[in-house]
Amino acid sequence: MTDQPVSTELTTRRRDPEARPQQILDAAFHEFGDRGLAGARLDDIAKRAGVAKGTIYLYFPNKEALFREMVRSTLIAAIATAEARRDEAGPNDSAEALIRQLGAGWWAFLRTERVLTLHRLVTGELRQFPDLMAFYAEEVIARGRQLVSGIIARGVQRGEFRAIDPLVAARMYSALWMSHATWVNNRELHPSLGHDAQILDEMLDFYLHSLRPSV
């Protein structure tokens, strides 16, 4: 029996300890996407990652820890980037410009494969995992709304926006993006959605119009 050749790249990746956490994380996204939080097994994640099951425990003690890192490496990292951009805004940068910038970034980000995987897990299974639900609520939902509400408060203080509760306005903002991103990723159910760029512009105009002071 002749041995099959082994990919040099794969062998290198398996032997490189620094690459293992990312290998495992990549495999987890696929496995959780295929089988869900409850159905995914560490054995299958290890096989997909090309590592021994025991190797996973060196970095992630259980599936819940893997899910947390999936969230941190995508959603929380994106929120942190958006927070840094907000903090870099100068005195001449309007709140409306910041809202448009944030919206354009999230419009693309929320439709990426990994974020869609997390969205399905969160909406479909997270209530079965109370600790993960609390983690997600605090680190993603609450932090994201604080980000947006801070921009809204800036607009209210500058007179760009009417007097409105910034947290309420932030909740409206997140609901708008999440629902439309979900629809666009199910085009077979919504064939009349039209062009993405047009939808994005109209959504931003619609939202910002609701915030401007009455003339």
Task: Break the chain into its structural domains and give their ranges.
Answer: 1-61, 64-211
Predicted confidence (pLDDT) per residue in 155-184, tens digit: 999 999 999 999 999 999 988 887 776 776
pLDDT over 90, % of the chain: 66
- Which of 53-57, 70-74, 155-159 shows the lowest mean pLDDT across its residues? 53-57
Comparing CA positions, the residue from 173, 155, 172 lying closest to residue 212 is 155
Rounded-to-integer distance, Cα 206 and Cα 202, Å:
6
In this structure, CATH architecture of domain 64-211:
Orthogonal Bundle (1.10)
Residue 148 has a pLDDT of 96
- Tell me the CATH architecture of domain 1-61: Orthogonal Bundle (1.10)
**pLDDT tens, position by position, 18-30:** 788 999 999 999 9
Q: Which of 126, 146, 123, 145 is nearest to 134 (CA)?
A: 126
**For the stretch 47-59, what's the b/e string if a residue is b when 16 or more beta carbons lie within 10 angstroms of its beta carbon?**
ebbbbeeebbeeb
User: 32, 70 in Cβ contact below 8 A?
Assistant: yes
